[in-house]
Amino acid sequence: MQSRYAETYAAWEQDPHGFWADAAGALDWFRPFDTAFDPQLGVYGQWFAGGETNTCHNCIDRHVLAGRGAQAALIYDSPMAGEKRRYSFAEMQREIEAVAAVLIGLGIGKGSRVILYMPMIPEALFSMLACARLGAIHSVVFGGFAAHELSTRIDDFEADLVIAASCGLEPGRIVAYKPLVDHAIEGARVKPRHCLVLQRPQYEAAMTPGRDVDFATLVEAEKAKGTRVPCTPVKATDPLYILYTSGTTGQPKGVIRDNGGHMVALRWSMEHIYGMKPGEVFWSASDIGWVVGHSYIVYAPLLAGNTTVVYEGKPVGTPDAGAFWRVIAEYDVKALFTAPTAFRAIRRDDPDGELIQQYDLSGLRALFLAGERADPETIKWAERMLAIPVIDHWWQTETGWAIAANPLGLGQLPVKYGSPTVPMPGYAIHVLDDEGHAVAPGTLGNIVIRLPLPPGNLVSFWNADERFRSGCLTEFAGYYKTADAGYVDEDGYVYIMARTDDIINCAGHRLSTGAMEEVCAMHPDVAECAVIGVADALKGQIPCGFLVLKNRATRTLQEIEHEVVSLVRNEIGPVAAFKTVMIVQRLPKTRSGKILRGTMQKIADGLPWKMPATIDDPAILDEIQGVMRERGFTLT
Ligand code: COA
Ligand code: AMP
């Protein structure tokens, strides 16, 4: 089929407001919007101003009203808990209404702020959608983050309520979430009025009298009463959720997503990028704690009338590298979305795809990869093994949906390995040099997006308009800075090469090395430190710390290394995967005192590197290389 991409992109360029106004027609509005885009509102303008809607209505009630109530909306499959469940749209509506009724009883309403700290279980989605139903704003915190990170978010968000599960299940261990929540609330300045606790059979959490309430008991009571809770009309421009993401400091940024633009963009993407039809099963093997989970486990599939799979397990080890194939075959999954690291793990354990042969994957039409650079080897392996299109697409927590993709629903474009293909409608991608001048095709530069950002993108950072302006909109006037460097080739294909800030991608998880440095520096024996991301065959990148000790260090070097690793695990969380630290005499710096992290990274990755002209003392790089060699790094 000839791709309709070029004509669709041109239609958007010609009439950007009309394009999205048309897309909005696929959804229900309680009050029509006055204008598709109002440039006067917010930091850079806002979409669908004047409109009133409700995201939960569009995800659930709209389908029930249209007679699709009996269709499966959610399939829960947990090799961790040994459990499977299925909910139709009508059943899901009942569950969500019951949770919403409980929330009302706890004083939650329009504009209230609710933090969720829950694993991949249906109740997490019911809770998110119950918030949406009431116009309360949710903020989901990934379970791999430690108490301190949760505390920071409770404070910044000024949470009224925390909804938590008693535990999460990781291979070989039960992660007790509730004690982390208690610890986080203890350490927070803001004290949520209540904590709604879902007790899982694997771990029963202690309850704090007066504050903690039992999820299951209250929800069951509302279900028994048959309490109905209508969807609260909210403004299209009201926030639906806040998702905290790593910034360049330890203070995470709360990305604000609105209701109207978000639902319009996601609904559009399901049909045109992912090529999904209502009634089909879509599986995003991510976690609801990440943006991929928000957009493509929860909101987009439900908005588009698809069945979503909530999988509580890993690509390997639960029980083996055939786990994904089992799920696809069992539920007739039509499209799978995951991070390249998951496929690297599967390939490592089953290089010849023997487990793939054991399942009927004939229903699977495409594999979508995002979250980190998809290395061509992994893409080619997946193509060979599955014989379906393997589509790399590029986006960020800030954008909420793909900036560049190969839009299957519009007709697939030729694949160029190493490129997530072309800009999606809504995104005018430019590549600029550091002075803000456009560079020629094929030339590396800063990738920026011309304002306004399309629907579904962040509106601002929570309580931090100025941080949004200064961090993202000021350096290149009139553009949003993605903080990714790359280039666009002669055919308009985009290539994403590296971050321009301190963010690294470890196993598809976005982490700030700056935040890790802040934690390393808390150790009493550490005088100075640098954390860089080094290449890793499985996780893409892993963090690696270099520590300079104070003169009178009080412990042995091994003790200090061990303590710093534990400190990062306890402060940021196991998800930081911070396991390698090296003690060095000095850090390489420029004459103005800037640590040469880029050069250290090239050395650690075994890449060609040049002695920086501005280096203060070249001998330090020899010292660092000596330590790296001792630690088993292969250097050039
Ligand atoms: N709750 C608590 N702990 C968690 C957690 C959660 N939700 N998720 C991860 N962790 C822990 C892990 O148990 C691990 O702990 P450990 O150091 O004690 O082993 C640590 O955080 C690091 O996790 P991770 O980096 O994911 O490594 P892993 O070895 O457990 O798994 C992969 C490796 C590749 C299998 C796994 O990272 C994966 O499936 N990645 C897919 C990524 C993804 O879905 N990204 C979302 C964007 S699309
Ligand atoms: P996150 O906000 O966690 O989604 O991480 C966003 C960052 O991950 C981007 O800014 C990129 O650096 C990286 N990223 C995401 N998808 C891709 C991709 N397809 N190719 C290369 N890098 C990607």
Query: Is pLDDT at 249 greater than 70 in this prediction?
Result: no
* CB-facing half-sphere around the CA of 49: CA atoms within 13 A: 11
**3-state per-residue secondary structure call for 527-544:** EEEEEEEEEECCCEEEEE
d(CA 56, CA 70): 17
Q: What is the pLDDT of residue 607?
A: 92
SS3 call for 407: coil
144 lines ligand 1 (CB under 6 A): yes
373 belongs to a structural domain: no
Domain shared by 541 and 429, yes or no: no
Phi, psi dihedral angles at 343 (to 5 degrees): -70, -35
583 lines ligand 1 (CB under 6 A): no
390 sits in which H/E element: strand 390-392
- Tell me which amino acid residue 590 is: T
In this structure, is the dihedral angle defined by the CA atoms of residues 149, 152, 156 and 158, taken in order, positive or negative? Answer: positive
Residue 111: Cβ within 10 Å count? 13
CATH, residue 525: 3.30.300.30
Are the beta carbons of 482 and 65 closer than 8 angstroms?
A: no
Altogether, the residues listed in the chain come to a count of 636
Q: What is the pLDDT of residue 634?
A: 81
342 lines ligand 1 (CB under 6 A): yes
Residue 470: Cβ within 10 Å count? 11
- The most distant pair of C-alpha atoms in the chain lies apart, rounded to whole Å, by 75
Query: Is pLDDT at 336 greater than 90 in this prediction?
Result: yes
Tell me the H-state helices in 439-512: 465-468
d(CA 562, CA 429): 44
314 lines ligand 1 (CB under 6 A): yes
CA angle 534, 538, 543 (to 5 degrees): 30
Q: What is the pLDDT of residue 554?
A: 77
Q: Which residues contact 562 (CB under 8 A, 6 or more apart)?
A: none
Structural domain count of the chain: 2
Q: Return the residue matching tokens 């309490």.
A: 227
514 belongs to a structural domain: yes
How far, in Å, is the centroid of ligand 2 from the Cα of 457? 15
546-604 tens-digit pLDDT? 999 998 767 899 999 999 999 999 999 999 999 999 999 999 999 989 999 999 999 99
Structure tokens at 609: 């590197």
How far, in Å, is the centroid of ligand 2 from the Cα of 372? 5
CATH, residue 263: 3.40.50.12780
478 belongs to a structural domain: yes
Query: Is pLDDT at 138 greater than 80 in this prediction?
Result: yes
Domain shared by 481 and 514, yes or no: no
Domain shared by 128 and 162, yes or no: yes
Query: Is pLDDT at 224 greater than 90 in this prediction?
Result: yes
353 belongs to a structural domain: no
| Ligand 1 probe mutation, 298, 575, 579, most atoms within 8 A of CB | 575
Q: What is the pLDDT of residue 194?
A: 98
Domain around 233: 5-313+393-486
Ligand 2 atom closest to Cα of 508? 3
- 8-state DSSP, 574: G
How far, in Å, is the centroid of ligand 1 from the Cα of 430? 34
Domain shared by 296 and 253, yes or no: yes
How far, in Å, is the centroid of ligand 2 from the Cα of 506? 11
User: Residue 1: which of 411, 391, 422 has the closest Cα?
Assistant: 411
Domain shared by 47 and 183, yes or no: yes
**3-state per-residue secondary structure call for 168-186:** EEECCEEEEHHHHHHHHHH
Q: State percent of the chain over pLDDT 70.
A: 99
Q: What is the pLDDT of residue 427?
A: 98
Domain shared by 468 and 589, yes or no: no
Q: What is the pLDDT of residue 248?
A: 67
Query: Is pLDDT at 171 greater than 70 in this prediction?
Result: yes
Domain shared by 51 and 132, yes or no: yes
Domain shared by 399 and 519, yes or no: no
Domain shared by 466 and 557, yes or no: no
Domain shared by 307 and 207, yes or no: yes
User: Residue 46: which of 17, 7, 81 has the closest Cα?
Assistant: 17
What separation in angstroms does the CA of 611 have from each of 295, 502, 535, 578, 607? 44, 21, 21, 28, 13
pTM of the predicted model, to two decimals?
Answer: 0.96
Structure tokens at 627: 């330590």
9 belongs to a structural domain: yes
Query: Is pLDDT at 250 greater than 90 in this prediction?
Result: no
343 band by pLDDT with thresholds 50, 70 and 90: very high
Q: What is the pLDDT of residue 552?
A: 74
d(CA 158, CA 38): 29
143 lines ligand 1 (CB under 6 A): yes
Ligand 1 atom closest to Cα of 575? 21
259-309 tens-digit pLDDT? 999 999 999 999 999 999 999 999 999 999 999 999 999 999 999 999 999
34 belongs to a structural domain: yes
Scored b (16 or more CB within 10 A) or e, 308-341 reads bbbbbbbbbebeebbbbbbbbbebebbbbbbbbb
123 belongs to a structural domain: yes
80 lines ligand 1 (CB under 6 A): no
Q: What is the mean pLDDT of the chain?
A: 96
Residue range 481-486: mean pLDDT, rounded: 97
Burial class from Cβ neighbours inside 10 Å (0-12, 13-18, 19+) for residue 13 reads exposed
Q: Which residues contact 331 (CB under 8 A, 6 or more apart)?
A: 75, 77, 281, 283, 307, 309
Domain shared by 427 and 532, yes or no: no
Domain shared by 533 and 615, yes or no: yes
The residue nearest atom 13 of ligand 1, judged by CA position, is: 170
> Is cis: bond before 319, omega within 30 of 0?
yes
Q: State percent of the chain over pLDDT 90.
A: 96
503 belongs to a structural domain: no
